[in-house]
């Protein structure tokens, strides 16, 4: 079962599976109601996936998983912002939808594996499955896959993981696929280009203005919505010019954003919750990646807290921190 989003990576993934001799069916998940331009489930995206499947000569199915997506991705996303957290909905979609609901559906229908267009690699080492970074460091997506364990990895294929993005596009062009030149999606898939995050959160949790105070508690400004502020943010805090100041904590319940200098944003450690592991729990020296496109840094994990080798910008509560050794994903957790 090839999960086809309508993008070039999943298109080429399906093509590579066919070239390798597999029997392939293309599947697109409908996760979001309506037909709003810019969302993952627009008619245009589904049509692109369907037409690529036609070009490849494979069946194309559409599965409606809107309830799962609402329950496990969109509702928690809104609730997290209301609590002053910075969620990562792509990771929760992988955890609950792509590699849970879709994988279970594939198993029920008799498929041996689910393939996606993620830039990551999976292999077997000493009888256990490993998750590794994709060959293209600039496009590596292993960070958003750290929630996969042995059961999922036994049944997952990432056919483009050994290719650079340029090679993926070249392969798509050679095959004449309509998605060859299609731009990469870069936003949260269910946040529309027109309304944005503000519109979504306003309709679901409401938005409340808040005070901006310095670390001594003096009011220095205000924001129209505390729910839209994340730790580490510098712009949009209504502070005007002068010294650069950053959001160092956000409390929507109290209607307060605390700002400080860059020094006030630095931390020596972070507590990780909701830990998941690719295989056995890890401890000791690791490389820690604190955002999807962040630079890995040296750290030590003691089973609960991650201690940075050098002071590091505070990880926004709610964000995932993924632990690596070399190019291998060990697992990770959510910053408290």
CA proximity to 145, closest of 94, 217, 190, 107: 94
Residue 189 bears catalytic tag: yes
Alpha helices by DSSP H, listed for the chain, are: 8-19, 43-56, 66-69, 75-82, 89-93, 102-108, 150-153, 165-175, 196-204, 262-265
Residue 290 bears catalytic tag: no
What is the DSSP track for 13-66?
HHHHHHHTT----EEEEE-SSS--TTSTT-HHHHHHHHHHHHHHT--EEEEE-H
Alpha helices by DSSP H, listed for 84-225, are: 89-93, 102-108, 150-153, 165-175, 196-204
Q: Which of 41, 156, 189, 290 is catalytic?
A: 189
- Cross-strand bridge partners of residue 258: 213, 249
Alpha-carbon torsion (127, 131, 133, 139), positive or negative? positive
Q: Which of 40, 93, 156, 290 is catalytic?
A: 93
* Burial of 326: CB neighbours in 10 Å, binned 0-12, 13-18, 19+: exposed
Just list the catalytic residues. 93, 189
């Amino acid at each position: 079962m090839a999960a086809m989003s309508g993008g070039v990576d999943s298109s080429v993934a399906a093509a590579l599976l066919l070239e390798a001799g597999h029997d392939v069916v293309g599947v697109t998940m409908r996760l979001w109601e309506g037909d709003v331009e810019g969302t993952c489930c627009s008619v245009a995206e589904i049509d692109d996936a369907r037409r690529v499947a036609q070009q490849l000569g494979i069946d194309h199915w559409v599965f409606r998983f809107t309830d799962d997506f609402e329950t496990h991705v969109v509702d928690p996303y809104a609730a997290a912002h209301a609590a002053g957290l910075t969620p990562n909905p792509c990771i929760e979609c992988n955890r609950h939808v792509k590699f849970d609901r879709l994988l279970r559906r594939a198993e029920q229908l008799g498929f041996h594996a689910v393939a996606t267009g993620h830039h990551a690699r999976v292999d077997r080492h000493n009888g256990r499955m490993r998750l590794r970074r994709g060959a293209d460091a600039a496009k590596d997506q292993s960070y958003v896959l750290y929630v996969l364990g042995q059961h999922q990895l036994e049944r997952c294929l990432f056919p483009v993981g050994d290719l650079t993005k340029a090679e993926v596009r070249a392969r798509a062009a050679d095959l004449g696929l309509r998605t060859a030149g299609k731009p990469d999606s870069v936003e949260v898939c269910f946040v529309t280009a027109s309304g944005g995050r503000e519109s979504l959160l306003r309709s679901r949790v409401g938005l409340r203005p808040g005070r901006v105070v310095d670390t001594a508690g003096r009011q220095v400004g205000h924001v129209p919505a505390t729910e839209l502020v994340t730790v580490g943010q510098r712009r949009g805090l209504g502070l005007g010019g002068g010294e650069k100041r950053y959001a160092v904590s956000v409390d929507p319940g109290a209607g307060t954003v605390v700002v400080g200098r860059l020094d006030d944003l630095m931390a020596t450690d972070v507590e990780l919750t909701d830990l998941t592991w690719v295989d056995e729990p890890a401890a000791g020296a690791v490389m820690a990646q604190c955002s999807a496109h962040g630079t890995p840094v040296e750290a030590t994990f003691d089973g609960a807290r991650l201690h940075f080798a050098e002071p590091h910008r505070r990880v926004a509560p709610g964000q995932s921190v993924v632990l690596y050794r070399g190019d291998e994903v060990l697992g990770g957790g959510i910053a408290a």
